[in-house]
Amino acid sequence: MKARNLVPLALLLLLLAACTTPPITIPLSDVTLDLQVAAESAGQVLFPENPLDVKNPVPATSIAAVTIKGEARLANGADVSFEVYATDTDPQTLGCQKVGTPLTGYFYACDPNTPGIAKVSQSTIAFNGSQGPVPFTLSGDTLAKGINQQSLYLGTVIRGATAGNTLYLQNLTATVQLNVGQ
């Protein structure tokens, strides 16, 4: 009698296992931000001029969820904190202002409330006077959309930024979960 009851459960578990895919981890390019530009654009999200170097790990596959992990470092220890935002749209087309110089690099300064921009850091990332590294995790639907479209921009709103310092977001890896049945 018990064996007969276990057959439907075993079939259900087999069906679930066939419908799920293991997550895939892919490396992403680093992000570097001269804090002079951040100091001049206080309260704005600063996106690098170019998107992250992202390749959809399985072409023509829809990505269900993405979690990005990485480390933040400063060139010089400081009392700096920041939050991370993402967009899958070129910030220039969102009406953001181009800022920076050839020495600092060029960025787009955007209002954090601009449609198409989403906060993806779970909390404020703080250095508290150190250089780091400070580990962080990012999540949200915008990350999956950006990788699906191979157009993902990560930007930051930085507090405590001063000239003469640089923020590095390094060792970025995306853990990608594919849609079931893809």
Residues 151-175 have a mean pLDDT of 91
Paired residues of 67 in beta bridges: 139, 175
Tokens representing 30 are 């680093």
Mean pLDDT, rounded, of the chain: 84
What percentage of residues in the chain have a pLDDT greater than 90? 51
Residue whose pair of structure tokens reads 């977001």 in the numeric block: 169
pLDDT digits 0-9 by tens, 50-108: 888 875 555 556 777 889 999 999 999 999 999 999 999 999 999 999 999 998 889 99
- pLDDT bin (cut points 50, 70, 90) of residue 14 is very low
User: What is the reported pLDDT for 97?
Assistant: 95
Lowest mean pLDDT among 16-30, 31-45, 75-89, 135-149: 16-30
User: What is the reported pLDDT for 16?
Assistant: 42
Residues 118-145 have a mean pLDDT of 92
Cα–Cα distance, 179 to 170 (Å, whole number) = 27
Residues 160-182 have a mean pLDDT of 84
